[in-house]
Amino acid sequence: MGITTAIMDTIPAELTISIIIPVHNAGDYFRNSLQSIADSDSPPLEIIVVADGDSDGSWRIAKEFGARILHNPESQGPARARNLGARAAVGNILLFIDADITIPRNALSQVAAVFRGDPGLAALFGSYDDEPQATDFLSQYRNLFHHYVHQTACEEASTFWSGCGAIRREVFTALSGFNEHYRQPSIEDIELGYRLRTAGYRIRLVKELKVKHLKRWGMISLLRADFFYRALPWTRLILREGRMLNDLNLKLSSRLSVICVCLLTAILPATVWQPWLAAPAAFLVTVLLALNWGLYCFFKDKRGLLFALRVIPWNWLYFLYSGLAFAIGLAEHRMNGAGCGAKSC
């Protein structure tokens, strides 16, 4: 706690915000994102764009908006790109924004107001709004699910989100920023949040800070991102840290849902030759519906009954591959004895 107190005591009274955006072939999404910053009611001190192996000329769009541009000749991942931008920043608040989101007009004033009102706060983050731009089912499901998870989570947060997350520069520097061993868009922000809390810093989820996600998700891109870039590395992080938080995607209801879906997957095929197993299968279905009733009602209220019914199999598939990822991670952990280090995570 000594380092925490010392750093917080040096925080200046005036807040200046440096926006840092890593970009890798973001196209029109990026222009919309920069335009939303330009339309802000409270302009930032600077916008730093880190072109991470960018090959579609997205960085040229940033020049039109007066951003400072840094280049990684080859893509080295958003964690390293954000660290590069943070080292060049001069603001005492670092606001990380993804290249495929737009912010509301009052986003920067919201960020500044929260930090001014809570001088002991180290970091904050927001969530996606409930009106994602892409209108197809998967994109609506994925982005609204993210919105629901954040909007029902604890405001005194246990992790961090770099899609729209701000942190005091002194704190970020003290913790050496994001873990650059994550070479893909992964859980580098979650891992930073773990280190923030371990060091005694406070993080706040500002539910009123809502940004719009522009990305269109496809089946393959969604499954690949969820399994390989989130579920597996998050499992490794949990096992390395030796603690599982009761928040966000790790709430007790989610963990029980994973168990129920895995049992249901094992039981259902056996009902063909063991009809009596239909009763425990029906019980598991009932438990799953009860555990996630709030989520399904949320989707019904937002997009109607038919949409909510379509969500259920996707939600259960999510629990299934989350359970598979945990099983694989646990097996790795057992085989490696002490578990994986940061480099292999």
Fold of 2-217: Spore Coat Polysaccharide Biosynthesis Protein SpsA; Chain A (3.90.550)
Q: 248: which DSSP letter?
A: G
Q: What is the dihedral of CA 167, 172, 174, 177, to 10 degrees?
A: 150
Q: Compute and round to an integer the Cα radius of gyration of the chain.
A: 21
Alpha helices in the chain (DSSP H): 2-9, 28-38, 58-64, 78-88, 107-117, 137-151, 169-174, 188-198, 219-226, 232-241, 252-267, 278-291, 293-303, 305-335
Q: Note down pLDDT in tens along the chain; length 345 residues.
A: 444 554 455 555 589 999 999 998 877 889 999 999 999 999 999 999 999 887 777 888 998 999 999 988 888 899 999 999 999 999 999 999 999 999 999 999 999 999 999 999 999 999 999 999 999 999 999 999 999 999 999 999 999 999 999 999 999 999 999 999 998 889 999 999 999 999 999 999 999 999 999 999 999 999 999 999 999 999 999 988 877 776 677 788 999 999 999 999 999 999 988 999 999 999 999 999 999 999 999 999 999 999 999 999 999 999 999 999 999 998 988 888 744 444 444
Query: 212: alpha, beta or left, given left = phi > 0 and alpha = psi -120 to 50?
Result: beta
> Alpha-carbon distance 222 to 161, whole Å?
18
CATH 3.90.550.10 occupies which residues in the chain? 2-217
Q: Are 136 and 286 spatial neighbours (Cβ–Cβ below 8 Å)?
A: no
Does the reported pTM lie above 0.85?
Answer: yes
Q: Are 52 and 22 spatial neighbours (Cβ–Cβ below 8 Å)?
A: yes
